[in-house]
Structure 1
C-alpha cells in the first residue's frame, strides 16, 4: 500500500485508503431542471455479472468511448446529450439515464431518457428487470405549475399520489402503477432547489420505488407458504394431542417418521425464505429512511408518498415477517415435540431393558440351581467311576497275596473318594468365580 499524505513516516493500515474511498463510491447526482431521467433495476444472477459488465462496456464502444478495464461499484459517464450511471448492488444492477436536452413542446413522458440508448443494446441487458420507470423534471420557476387535471393526463388518468417534499421546494406526483409503455412514472416540479439538492431528492425517490418493489418480492412467497403452515400447525397439534392423551401403546416409529418429515419441510422452507425475508426487512428500512428524508408536506386531497407506503407496503412487510416468525416458531415446537417423543421412546426402552434384566436375573437363578444339581450329579458320577478304578487297584493288590478284608477296604474308600471329588469340584468352582470377579474389577 502506498503511503499517501504521510509525512510523519507512520505505518498505515492497508485498508485505510479503501475505507476513505468507500464513502465516495456512490456520489450524489447533480441534476439540472428541466431534465428527463429513466431508471432500470435489473436482477443479475452470479453467472450473469461478468456478461452484464461486458455488455455495459459495449456501450462505451458504441459511442466512441474507452470502457473501464475492471468492474466497479459505480460508473458514471457523460456521452454529451445524455449521461448514464451504473450502480452495482448485492442483488441487482441499476442504470440511471439522464437526458438534459428537453423538448418542451412534447408531452412530459413522450420524450424519455431511454430513447438515447440503442434499442438493441437495451433489450440485450442480461438479467430480469424488476424496476423500470421515468422521471420528468420540470422547472416551476420558469413555467407555471400545471393544474391537477393536466397532471392526471400525464399519468393516463390514473389516481395520483403526491406531496411537496423538502419543505415545499418541490412537488412530486406519481401513481405507483405501470403505464402503457410498461414503466412507472414520476413527475417532479422544482420550485426552489439547487441542482445538487434536486439530484439528491431524485435519488431518494428512485430508491424508494426500487426498494419498495424489492421488499415486495417476498410477499408471494409468504402467501404461498402460509397455507401450508396452517396445515402443518394442525398436523403438529394432532400429534401432540396423541402423545398427551395416549391411553394405549402408540406406533412410535410412525410418529417419529411424521415428525422427521415435518421438520425436514420446515428446515427446507426456512432455507428457501431466510434470505428473501431478511432482505425484505432491510429494503423496507431503506424505504422508510428515504421517506423520512423527503420531509413531505401534504397536497390537499392526495395521499403523500409516506402515507401511501405505510398503508400499502408496511402490511406486506409485516406479513413476510410474520411468516418468517411462524416458521421459526413451528421449528421450535417440532423440536420440543421430538424431544418429548424421544424421551417417551427412551422410557419405553428403559422399561423393556428393566423387564429384560429381570428375566435374565430369573434365568440366572434357575441356571444356578441347575448348575448346583449338575455339580451334585457330577460328583456322584466322578465318584462312581473313581471307586470303580480304585476297586481294580485293591483287587490287584489282594490277588498278589496281601491279606486284608477286600470288601471293607472298598466300602471305606467310597466316602473318601466322594469327599475328595466334592472338595476338588468346589475348589475349581471358587477359582473360576475369583477369575470372573477380577475381570469385572478391571
Structure 2
C-alpha cells in the first residue's frame, strides 16, 4: 500500500505542471482526408470573441457548446473535426474531414462542411492558411509527378520522403489561386497515429515559418535608417577624435535624438526579433523530426528552409545586433560629449573663480582705504565731542588749557580708533576662517 500525500504540502501548480505535457496531444488521422489549417494573430479581446464564435458554431451544428476556454480544444462533429489551439500571439484552427478516395485533390477541403458565413466572421488577422490533401497509396505505385504538378497549378514543387520512405510530402510554400497554400501527403504505410503526427509537424512548420518571417519587413524598414544614423554617429566620433572645435551642446542634442530614435526602434522590434528566433528554432526542430530523404531533382523541406528561411532570420538577427551595437556606441559618444562639456564648464568655473579672486583683492584694497578714511572720520567726530565736553567743563569754572588738552587728545583718539577698527577687522577674519 502506497503512503498517502494528504498530509504533505503540495505545490498549487502541481496538477497543472503534470497536465502541461498533455495539453496538446497529437492528432489521429486516417487517410484519405482533407485538412485546412488557419493561424490568426489575436489579442485577449479577440480571443474572447473567437471563443464565443466557436460556441456559436456548436449551436449551428446542433451540438452542446463548451463552457470554458482551454489551450487546446478538439471536437468531432461527424463529417467535420475541429481543433483549436491557443498560442502566445496567435490562435490556430484545424478543420479535418474525410475525403472520397476517388475525388480529385483540393476539390473539397477541410472547410467545405463549415456552415456558410461562419469562417468569414472569425476574428483575427490571418497569417497562415493552407490546405493539406492526405491520400493513401500504400501497396501501389507512387503517384506520378506529372499528375501531382497540376494540383499545385504547375508551381515549382518542394518534396521529400520522411520517416524512411513511409510517406511523401509535396508542397510549394506559395499561395494558390484560392488564396490558400497547398500541401499533399501520400501515405505509404503509416498508421493513423503516425500520419497524424506527420500532418501536425507539416502544419507547424508552415505556420512557424510564416510567424518567423513577420519580422523581416520590419528589419528591412529599420535597416536603411540605421545606416543613416550610423554615418551621422561616425562623423561625430571622427570630429571628436580630431579635437575639432565643435558645438558640444548641439552635438549632444543630436546624440540624444539618435538615442531616442534607437530606443523607439528597439521598442518596436525587440519582441518581434526575439519571437523570430524562437519560431525559427521550432521550425528546425520539426524538420529534424521528419527525418527526410531526398526526392530526386527536388529540394527537401529542410533544404528549402535552410536556403530561404535561415537567411531571413539571420537578417533580422543582424538588424537586432546592429541596433544594440549602435545603442552602445551612442552611449559612449554621449559620455565623451558630456565629459567635454563638463571640462568646459570646469574651465569656465576656474576662470570665474580667478576673476572673483581678483575682484576680492581689489575690494580688500578698497576696504583698507575705506578703513583709513573711517579712522579719520570717527576720530574727527570723537574729537568734536571731546571739544564740546572741554568747553562745558571750562565754562563751569574748571581751570585748564583747552588747546593743550585738545592737542594731546588728538593722537590718543586717532590711535584708539585705529586699534579698535583693526581689532574688529581681525575678529571678522577669525570668524571667516572658522567657518
The TM-score by the shorter chain falls in which range?
over 0.9
Question: What is the RMSD computed on CA atoms of the aligned residues?
Answer: 1.5
| 1:360-390 per-position Cα deviation (integer Å, ceiling 9, x unaligned) | 1111111111111110100011111111111
Match of 2:241 among 244, 247, 253: 244
| Paired residues for 1:18-57 under 5 Å | 18-57=16-55
Aligned: 1:201 with 2:205: no
Partner of 2:335: 339
Q: Distance in 1 between matches of 2:419 and 2:65?
A: 107
Partner of 1:60: 58
| 1:38-70 per-position Cα deviation (integer Å, ceiling 9, x unaligned) | 111011123211111100111111111111111
CA contact (8 A) 2:159 2:299 kept: yes
Partner of 2:293: 297
Partner of 2:250: 254
Aligned: 1:171 with 2:168: yes
Q: Distance in 1 between matches of 2:83 and 2:307?
A: 32
Partner of 2:69: 71
Partner of 1:400: 396
Q: Distance in 1 between matches of 2:83 and 2:398?
A: 134
Task: Between 8-17 and 49-58, report the one with greater CA deviation.
Answer: 8-17
Q: Distance in 2 between matches of 1:169 and 1:73?
A: 31
- Give the 4+ runs in structure 1 shifted more than 6 A: none
Q: Please report how far the alpha carbon of residue 95 of structure 1 lies from its aligned counterpart in structure 2 after TM superposition.
A: 0.6
Aligned: 1:130 with 2:117: no
| Paired residues for 1:354-393 under 5 Å | 354-393=350-389
Q: Which runs of 5+ in 1 are unaligned?
A: none
Q: Distance in 2 between matches of 1:402 and 1:92?
A: 120
Q: Distance in 1 between matches of 2:151 and 2:194?
A: 25
Partner of 1:425: 421
Aligned: 1:311 with 2:307: yes
Q: Please report how far the alpha carbon of residue 143 of structure 1 lies from its aligned counterpart in structure 2 after TM superposition.
A: 4.7
Match of 1:94 among 89, 92, 95: 92
| 1:307-336 per-position Cα deviation (integer Å, ceiling 9, x unaligned) | 000000000000000000111111111100
Q: Distance in 1 between matches of 2:39 and 2:381?
A: 106
Q: Distance in 1 between matches of 2:298 and 2:289?
A: 20
Q: Distance in 2 between matches of 1:179 and 1:404?
A: 137
The structure-2 alpha-carbon separation of the partners of 1:72 and 1:356, relative to structure 1 and needing over 3 Å to count, comes to same
| 3-state SS in 1 of match to 2:134 | strand
| 1:285-305 per-position Cα deviation (integer Å, ceiling 9, x unaligned) | 000000001000000111000
Q: Distance in 1 between matches of 2:9 and 2:326?
A: 54
Q: Distance in 2 between matches of 1:6 and 1:226?
A: 62
| 3-state SS in 1 of match to 2:111 | helix
Match of 2:229 among 228, 232, 256: 232
Match of 1:151 among 141, 148, 153: 148
CA contact (8 A) 2:55 2:66 kept: yes
Match of 1:105 among 102, 107, 125: 102
The structure-2 alpha-carbon separation of the partners of 1:7 and 1:419, relative to structure 1 and needing over 3 Å to count, comes to closer
Q: Please report how far the alpha carbon of residue 7 of structure 1 lies from its aligned counterpart in structure 2 after TM superposition.
A: 5.9
Q: Please report how far the alpha carbon of residue 142 of structure 1 lies from its aligned counterpart in structure 2 after TM superposition.
A: 5.0
The structure-2 alpha-carbon separation of the partners of 1:42 and 1:6, relative to structure 1 and needing over 3 Å to count, comes to farther
Q: Please report how far the alpha carbon of residue 429 of structure 1 lies from its aligned counterpart in structure 2 after TM superposition.
A: 1.8
| 1:97-126 per-position Cα deviation (integer Å, ceiling 9, x unaligned) | 1112x1233211111111011230011100
| 3-state SS in 1 of match to 2:117 | helix
| 1:170-206 per-position Cα deviation (integer Å, ceiling 9, x unaligned) | 1101011111111111111111211111111111110
| 1:253-301 per-position Cα deviation (integer Å, ceiling 9, x unaligned) | 2111111111110001100000100000000000000000100000011
The structure-2 alpha-carbon separation of the partners of 1:156 and 1:52, relative to structure 1 and needing over 3 Å to count, comes to same
Q: Distance in 2 between matches of 1:295 and 1:223?
A: 34
| 3-state SS in 1 of match to 2:267 | helix
